């Protein structure tokens, strides 16, 4: 029997048993910490590098590594950019995207960033996962096989329902943009 809201009806004692069995299930699977993200290796990828991983318990992004087929390296001159393979393919769940973001230490210390940051991996993309890396620094930068080059963040997505109107509602800000609120 269901309640008007669609939830099954149960006594407080039954709910306590349901809750206890749920938490018992969670304790058995210590690896279950978030939304499942299917990952597979590309042919020829170096699987010894491991899957993306969160380096600290509170990390929002899982680090991605350069995974070159020849196990070599690439040198980026100042101002240059390249597509760095990760050796992975992913299946993002519907209603989510994966955002590819720069690593702050590489950006601060070397000027290495991602020019399309954040890059978006859509839920219907199944091709190789590559990262566009740019050297905005003043010196050459070498990306070696296995280097952590970026981070990926799984994020929910809400798709818009576009509604064509004749006029938009006025606001206090209006059309002010590009620094219209000042610096201080």
pLDDT digits (tens, 9 = 90+) for 27-47: 554 555 689 999 999 999 999
- Does an H or E element contain 178, and which? none
How do the domains of the chain map onto residue ranges? 38-156
Mean pLDDT of 3-25: 58
Tell me the average pLDDT of the chain: 88
**9, HSE (Cβ side, Cα atoms, 13 Å):** 4
Q: Residue 153 pLDDT more than 70?
A: yes
SS3 label, residue 65: strand
Q: What is the pLDDT of residues 130-143, one digit of tens each?
A: 999 999 999 999 99
Q: What is the pLDDT of residues 48-69, one digit of tens each?
A: 999 999 999 999 999 999 999 9
Q: What is the pLDDT of residue 2?
A: 47
pTM for the full predicted model: 0.77
The more confidently predicted of residues 7 and 95 is 95
Residue 181 pLDDT class (50, 70, 90 cuts): confident
Matching CATH number, 38-156, of 1.10.340.30, 2.70.40.10, 3.20.20.70, 3.40.50.2300: 2.70.40.10
Q: Residue 92 pLDDT more than 80?
A: yes
DSSP designation for 2: B
Residue 1 pLDDT class (50, 70, 90 cuts): very low
**Long-range CB contacts (< 8 A, 24+ apart) of 33-39?**
34/154, 35/93, 35/96, 35/154, 36/93, 37/90, 37/91, 37/92, 37/93, 37/98, 37/154, 38/90, 38/91, 39/88, 39/89, 39/90, 39/91
């Amino acid at each position: 029997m269901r309640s008007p809201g669609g939830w099954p009806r149960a006594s407080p004692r039954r709910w306590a048993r349901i809750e206890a069995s749920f938490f018992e299930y969670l304790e058995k699977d210590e690896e279950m910490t978030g939304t499942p993200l299917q990952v597979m290796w590309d042919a020829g990828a170096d699987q010894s590098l491991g899957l993306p991983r969160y380096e600290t318990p509170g990390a929002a992004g899982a680090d991605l590594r350069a995974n070159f087929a020849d196990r070599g390296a690439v040198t980026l001159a100042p101002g240059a950019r390249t597509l760095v393979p990760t050796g992975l393919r992913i299946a993002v769940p519907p209603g989510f995207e994966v955002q590819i973001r720069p690593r702050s230490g590489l950006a601060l210390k070397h000027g290495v960033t991602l020019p399309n940051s954040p890059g978006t991996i859509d839920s219907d993309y199944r091709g190789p996962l590559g990262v566009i890396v740019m050297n905005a620094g003043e010196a050459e930068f070498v990306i070696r096989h296995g280097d952590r080059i970026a981070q990926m963040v799984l994020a929910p997505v809400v798709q818009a329902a576009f509604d064509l109107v004749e006029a938009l509602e006025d606001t206090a800000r209006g059309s002010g943009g590009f620094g219209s609120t000042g610096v201080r």
